[in-house]
Structure 1
Amino acid sequence: MVKLEIQERDGFLIMEDFPKNCIFNKVKTGCGATTIALTNDENYIIAVPTTELVINKCYPPKDKNGKDITWKRSQIQAGVSPINNRLFGLYGSFTKTLQIKLKKFLDKDGVKKIICTYDKVDKLIPVINPLEFKILVDEYHNLLKQYGFRTMVINQIIENFKCFKSHCFLTATPIPELFKPKVFAEMTEYVADWKTVDKITIYPYPCKSSSSTAAKIIRHYKDNGYFVLDGIKSEEAYFFVNSVREIKEILEEARLTNDDCRIICADDETNHYKLEGFEISSSTAPAKRFTFITCKAFEGVDYYSETAICFIVSNGYNKHTLISIDMDIPQIAGRIRTKSNPFRNKIVHIFNPKVMNYYLPFDEMKRKTDEELAAAEERIQVLNESKLGEVARKQQDDELKKLGADTYIIKKGDKYEVNDMVAQLKLYQHWTTRIVYRSAEALQEGYRQLGMAVVQTYEWNIADENIIKGILTTPQFRDRLKRFCDLKEKSALTDNERRELESLMKRDPILEQGYQQLGLSQLRRTRTKKAIKALTE
């Protein structure tokens, strides 16, 4: 890794361009790195992992002056961005109509920017001159994380990135050296040399059921009108839950409605079925009190809120919800862009560890994987040297295609090669699902290791796990009585205070009865329900 001197202002990169033919570790999320490629004077293909990220850049929730922009669902479509005619957003079906739009865009004079999902890179190559475009592969760590279910798409990026004028693989959370595939291990990796240090605080909360705890937090917001963390009130909450089924469980247990929340996940038939009764939204839709986000929008997407806290929900028995502390946590920490938000660099991580009587130590898993890679090396030597007939070779190729992401062997041209992406993904998944989340202690040790790894730019603090537990502890009646009296004493209430007062009255009807019969001054002097009843009967 090579430290790179950068130009920055107020925590944002102001470089004219990226270094060429390399990995660029920008270190900080939300530092405006993608904006460099979107706004400079170079032709760029910007490849991103999700449709939501394309939409978020083409249809941003705020304009250049920081004012909110409300986009109708009907306005959002692939094509030229309505706020930047140099930018073309490419995602979804590559229809004839969209191809015509793209050709018209490419025929115009001037600098051109195309932001597209990973799967559209190979579709672009035949319709552009790649040597006229630089390619920026954003959030490149996803090429490893998503390899298991996007094998063909990621293989196409790896096979084609060298055909462009130059290439840069960008991320703030690079693939750790321990899991880095050969194709990336051979690249120069530049690391942005920031002069400032950001503080991030993790509030771990081990529990028996992560979804029930999330529902309890929502009820706390609803009952009190806010959630107090470190003495500051939060009136909004963002829940990062990479399971639509678990989101539905939380919604039902917390008794939320569509008016209370927005759900940002893949807009497909399966998710509509799972979320029956709830709408699927997007990052461009108006914010609501509670926002639920799947990995569709964990990275690169901008959110704005003055008081929202980010809550991560991980279920040790559902591997899809297990957030990677090395790559996902720093990404989520940078999702809320509002600098005045006091919780911007604070994350509450709710998790229930998976109880394990046995787990394979990482060193043993690494040894097994190395043996499998060595065996694959032997096989490709035999395959490349053999004189298989056309039919036999086709059978061999068909078998490899069926194995997909489960084979260590890949064919490029007429030759077979070892595909170590599969091996590194297995190791990474084993580390996350079997090592880090096996216990509360293991997860917190993982956080400590993360803090050591990025200490140059982030100051990581791990808060006491009892902090969130204490907040959720049901307040005593006398505390609720005092709060009721404080609210009644106010001449005007905010919407949240009004909801809080209604919740207190609903929970303890005797409070309003005591207020009506005894008056505020005498009610304050009581301490128990029994005392109020005695005075009002």
Structure 2
Amino acid sequence: MMKIIDIPMPPGCRYMSDYDKLINGLLPIDGKFILNKTLTGCGGTSLFLNSVLMVVIISPRIQVLKNKHKQYPDSFLFHIPQCDDRQSVIKQKMEDLNSYLHLHYGLIPFGQQPPPPAKILVTLDSVGKVFSVLESCSIIDKFFFVVDEFQCLMGDATFKGTVDMNFLVNIDNRARRICYLSATPIPEKYLDYIPQLANLPYYKLQWDSAVIEEPTLKKRKMRNGENAVKLCTELIQKYRNNGYFERKIIQGNVVYSREACIFLNEVKSIIRIIEKNNLLPEEVTILCSESKSSELPKGFTIGGLCTDRNNPINKTFTFCTKASFEGVDFYSTNASTYIFIDGGKEWLSLDVAIDLSQILGRQRLDCNPFRHDATLYYKTVPNPVTEVEFRQKQSEMEQTTKERLDMYDASQEKSKKWLVDLHLKILPEEKFVSDYVDVIQENGQSTLGFNYLVMAAKWNQWYQRRYYYSNSHQLISGIQSALGIGRKPVEVRDFESWYNNASDKDKLAGYADFRNKFPQYDEWIFQNPFIDLRFHQWYATLGYSTLKRVNFKEDKVINIYNEYCVQDLIKTACINAFEVGKIYSLKDVKNMLQQIYDYAGFSGKTAKATDLGKYLCSQKVQRTDGQGNRLWYIEILG
């Protein structure tokens, strides 16, 4: 088992940059190591970008690098966009990097202030070009390489395993100082499978529990016939009707969420949602792979996420796919989060141990009262592949891989070249079906090797589907474990779980009983956006005993509450309508009072003459009418 070295963070510390000892003695920055920062949004990348080190930040997500480049304009973004004359653009970009390095590392004339240390931002697909430039300048060993969000290497391996494995081999062979950084690293049980990561020192930050907030999740199983498109349509309609997505009470004030970040793993679902709901480009931000750009409806583009944390201005709907959200900073003062996962389709499921923590860490602004809340829509489907079947299949693939690589190693050089060329012609969907043989780049040469990264990814994918997505209870338990849920009082957690699954007719009674039994947990309840806000108002205004007296029937509670809320308005109207000292017939009182009820919006309430005593000092008296009949009247007293 890999040895984990814990680093306790100082009490109250929330950001890595607040603890200068991390890169000044605690972390082995002169070698290679894994750093599990354990907390998203704690400024891991910023720690190195703000340091005196010359740094190369490597990310699997270009959107992250674009955002960081805006925040650090003196950095060099090595990115080659889609274009026709790609080789010419690559050559020019490498020359630009050379000039940047000369400025930031060249000889400084006497008396001039030295420039800040070089900071390079690059995707793992292009990092080889950066290596070449640094090596040509003989300064590669001067640089510290940060592989940011390195858990994506395994997450992406099932569809771009060759690129990711070659990246690992390449950086391990050419770079001397590397930090593999993540808040949700590749689980330790899989690291031993990957030679480049297996024996590295593993550091884990331990944060003060006071700075960690437990997420509030509303977990909702998708019913038959429900999918992301249908549920998002309901969500959009709710917003259009109400003007908000969620609301809660913070320090006695009602706050509203008017932005939504929606995570789903199919671009075609995003397109269907846009078309079905007639969403406009000015309403929608889309974060997905740049390769999907041509598939979007006319007028819609990829990217455009707000990067100004001091004045965030966002569109109403932000749609994100798995290929885009890791490491991205979302700056919003009020956005809610909605997550869709479907265990019935591999590409629509998420890695419970990795992806969910990443998603819930995207909202970076502490002023967003909904940053730790999320609605999770999920679907589970039994996995038809048993553990025995899977292990047997993997054993066969490993044995086949070994036999084929032994044959390759024993071949003549000419035959080796032929085997590499033959393997390069295999279609992507036909790779890693019967073995893990892949074309690996070593010392600038193509050779056949074992793609350990894909093997680990296959194991993890099966584990996720077998132990999480085959059973709703196991999925929820896995989520709670992965997110470290356990800091919230157990009574609150149990109640929230019950509430999210209770029938509508039972919710008010359960809510009132909990508030009556555990008043010390009121603040926890107020800050849950998934509890009907009316319940808070009814309980505060009418009290437990009144709610219980009407057996928690909502229609009766509404009537009593409405009457209470309009009392002052009705009383004022009565003072203006009825004259002191004057007597009124019961019929006149009833009619006048009914008009006041209707004016006050006291809907459904039928006036009675005797109701007037609730609002004015009055008495019932008898008088003789013109025909000598004794009738009852109401006299208004002073």
Alignment TM-score > 0.5, same fold? yes
Q: Any unmatched runs of 5+ in structure 2?
A: 82-88, 105-114, 250-254, 308-312, 505-529, 535-553, 570-593, 606-638
> In 2, are the aligned partners of 1:210 and 1:351 still within 8 Å (CA)?
no
**2:603 maps to which of 526, 529, 534:** 526
Instruction: Say if 1:362 and 1:435, in contact at 8 Å, map to a contact too.
Output: no
The answer for the alignment partner of 1:333 in structure 2 is: 360
* 2:73 alignment counterpart: 84
On the 8 A contact 2:293/2:301 being kept in 1, the answer is no
In structure 1, the residue matched to 2:422 is 399
Kept in 1, the 8 Å contact 2:151–2:184? The answer is yes
Task: Tell me: CA distance 1:366–1:282, structure 2 relative to 1, closer, same or farther (3 Å).
Answer: farther
Matched, 1:297 2:324: yes
The answer to whether structure 1 residue 182 and structure 2 residue 185 are counterparts is no
Q: Tell me by how many angstroms 1:373 deviates.
A: 1.4
SS in 1 for 2:126: helix
- Aligned equivalent of 1:103, options 98, 107, 111: 98
Distance, in Å, in 1 between the alignment partners of 2:597 and 2:77 is 60
SS in 2 for 1:339: coil
Q: Which amino acid aligns with 2:120?
A: I
Match of 2:33 among 22, 31, 34: 22
> In the alignment, does 2:285 pair up with 1:262?
yes
Q: How does 1:165-314 map to 2 (within 5 A)?
A: 165-180=176-191, 181-183=193-195, 184-196=197-209, 197-208=212-223, 209-211=226-228, 212-228=230-246, 231=249, 233-268=256-291, 270-276=292-298, 278-284=300-306, 286-314=313-341
The structure whose Rg is larger is 2
SS in 2 for 1:119: coil
Query: 1:271, 1:397 → 2: CA distance?
Result: 33
1:9 CA drift (Å): 5.8
**C-alpha deviation, 1:478, in angstroms:** 10
Task: Tell whether the 8 Å contact from 1:220 to 1:472 is kept in structure 2 after alignment.
Answer: no
Aligned residue identity for 1:182: I
Partner residue in 1 for 2:453: 421
Moved more, 159-168 or 12-21: 12-21
What displacement does 1:54 show? Answer: 0.7
Q: Pick closer, same or farther for the CA change 1:97–1:380 going to 2, 3 Å.
A: closer
- Amino acid of the structure 2 residue aligned with 1:123: K
Q: Distance in 1 between matches of 2:198 and 2:468?
A: 24
Query: 1:272-323 CA distances to partner (integer Å, 9 max, x unpaired)?
Result: 4343453434223740122112224311111112221111122344432322
Post-superposition shift, 1:55?
Answer: 0.7
What amino acid is aligned across from residue 279 of structure 2 in structure 1?
Answer: L
Match of 1:3 in 2: 6
1:84 maps to amino acid: P
Q: Which residue of 2 aligns with 1:13?
A: 16
Shift in alpha-carbon separation, 1:472–1:265, aligned structure 2, 3 A: farther
1:409 to 417, 437, 440: 437
TM-score normalised by structure 2 residue count: 0.66
SS at match of 2:282: coil
Aligned 8 A contact 1:325 1:447 in 2: yes
Summarize deviations over 1:204-254 as a string: whole Å, max 9, x none: 111132321122122112211123355553222111122111112222333
The aligned counterpart of 2:140 is: 130
Match of 1:508 in 2: none
AA partner of residue 215 (structure 1)? T
Alpha-carbon distance in 2 for matches of 1:275, 1:46: 33
Structure 1 residues 396, 245: CA separation in 2 closer, same or farther (over 3 Å shift)? Answer: same
Equivalent runs, 1:493-504 vs 2, <5 Å:
none
Taking the TM superposition and a 5 Å limit, the aligned residue runs for 1:133-152 are 133-152=143-162
The change in CA–CA distance for 1:298 and 1:366 in structure 2 (over 3 A counts) is farther
Structure with greater contact order relative to length (CA < 8 Å, sep ≥ 6): 1
1:464 maps onto 2:497 in alignment: yes
Q: Is the 8 A contact 1:243 1:294 kept in 2?
A: yes
The answer to whether structure 1 residue 31 and structure 2 residue 53 are counterparts is no
CA contact (8 A) 2:340 2:378 kept: yes
- CA deviation digits over 1:183-217, x for unaligned, max 9? 22222211112122431232211113232112212
CA contact under 8 A between 2:408 and 2:416: conserved in structure 1?
no
CA distance in 2, matches of 1:479, 1:266: 51
| Structural mapping, 1:42-61, within 5 Å | 42-60=53-71
**Residue type of the partner of 1:464?**
S
* Residue equivalent to 2:479: 447
Contact 1:237 1:289 in 2 (8 A): yes
Which amino acid in 1 is paired with 2:222? C
RMSD: 3.6
Residue 59 of structure 1: SS of its match in structure 2?
Answer: helix
Q: How big is the shift at 1:117?
A: 0.8
Give yes or no for contact 2:436–2:452 (8 Å, CA) kept in 1: yes
- Listed as ranges, the gaps of 5+ residues in structure 1 are 61-82, 491-516, 529-537
Could you tell which deviates more after superposition, 226-235 or 339-348? 226-235
CA contact (8 A) 1:409 1:419 kept: yes
CA deviation string 1:452-504 (max 9, x = no partner): 6x8799x996852753896699x999999999xx99x99xxxxxxxxxxxxxx
Summarize the Cα distance change of 1:202–1:258 in structure 2 as closer, same or farther, 3 Å threshold. Answer: same
Secondary structure of 2:402's match? helix
Shift in CA distance, 480/118, structure 1 to aligned 2, threshold 3 Å: farther
Query: 1:365 maps to which residue?
Result: 390
Which of 158, 169, 177 is the matching residue for 2:168? 158
Taking a change above 3 Å as real, the CA distance of residues 419 and 456 of structure 1, as seen in their structure-2 partners, is: farther
Letter in 1 for 2:477: E
Judge which range, 396-405 or 126-135, deviates more.
396-405
Q: CA deviation at 1:141?
A: 0.8
Name the % identity. 23
Give the 3-state SS of the residue equivalent to 1:262 in structure 2. strand
Do the aligned partners of 1:89 and 1:116 also contact (CA within 8 Å) in 2? yes
Task: Provide, for residues 44-77 of structure 1, a one-character-per-residue CA deviation record: whole Å limited to 9, x for no partner.
Answer: 11100111001111114xxxxxxxxxxxxxxxxx
Change (3 A) 1:334 1:8: farther
Whole-angstrom CA distance in 2 between matches of 1:275 and 1:10: 45
Match of 1:533 in 2: none
Q: Tell me the secondary structure at the aligned position of residue 497 of structure 2.
A: coil
Write the distance in 2 (CA, Å) between the matches of 1:308 and 1:191: 30
2:507 equivalent in structure 1: none
User: How far apart, in 1, do the equivalents of 2:391 and 2:482 lie?
Assistant: 20
Displacement of 1:138 after TM fit?
0.5
Q: Is the 8 A contact 1:46 1:135 kept in 2?
A: yes
Give the alignment's TM-score, normalised by structure 1: 0.77
